[in-house]
Amino acid sequence: MLDAGTGISYGHRFVADRPMKVAVAGIGYADGVPRNLSNKLEVLIQGRRVRQLGAITMDQLMLDVSEIEDVEPGDRVVLLGQSGTETITADDWANLLGTISWEILCGFKHRLPRIARETGYP
């Protein structure tokens, strides 16, 4: 829990205006999540949009999970993709940053695992 008036992340670029439940995801700008998305990014947890808080750090980002009562450590955090009926795309990130989706996708670093899967295309 985060008390009202408490700042988080580098330079306390976010200060809570109310008590909040905050989760930490182990991914950051060293993995390719653009720092310029700080305080703009949304992710998906349990099919719900969740706001990112404060500065995106090298290895972590903080998330406001106050509205998700049953959130648990280990719950999947979807940065790009679909969860339930909600979807976030590379174009969404690109629009926030004034760039193109290919720049977003090419920014993902070697620290992230690559998983090949069948697509059904010839």
Answer whether residue 118 is part of any domain: no
Contact 61, 41 (CB under 8 A): yes
User: For the domain that residue 46 is a member of, what is the CATH number?
Assistant: 2.40.37.10
| Minimum mean pLDDT range among 11-15, 79-83, 117-121 | 117-121
Tally the C-alpha atoms within 13 A of residue 30's C-alpha that lie toward its C-beta.
7
Answer whether residue 114 is part of any domain: no
Answer whether residue 48 is part of any domain: yes
Contact 17, 4 (CB under 8 A): yes
- Per-residue pLDDT of 44-99, as tens digits, reads 999 999 999 999 999 999 999 999 999 999 999 999 999 999 999 999 999 999 99
pLDDT value at 120 more than 80: no
Tally of domains within the chain? 1
More confident residue, 111 or 27: 27
pLDDT value at 122 more than 70: no
pLDDT at position 117 is: 73
User: Which two three-digit tokens encode residue 104?
Assistant: 């977003």
Contact 42, 33 (CB under 8 A): no
CA distance 15 to 97: 23
pLDDT at position 52 is: 97
DSSP E strands: which ranges in 19-104?
22-25, 42-45, 48-53, 61-64, 77-78, 81-83, 86-88
Task: Name the residue among 118, 6, 100, 94 with its Cα closest to residue 53.
Answer: 6
In the chain, % of residues over pLDDT 90: 83
Positive/negative CA dihedral, 11, 55, 28, 77? positive
pLDDT at position 10 is: 87
pTM (predicted TM-score): 0.88
Answer whether residue 65 is part of any domain: yes
User: Which two three-digit tokens encode residue 61?
Assistant: 């980002």
Answer whether residue 115 is part of any domain: no
Answer whether residue 24 is part of any domain: yes
pLDDT at position 76 is: 94
pLDDT at position 102 is: 95
Give the domain range for residue 63. Answer: 7-106
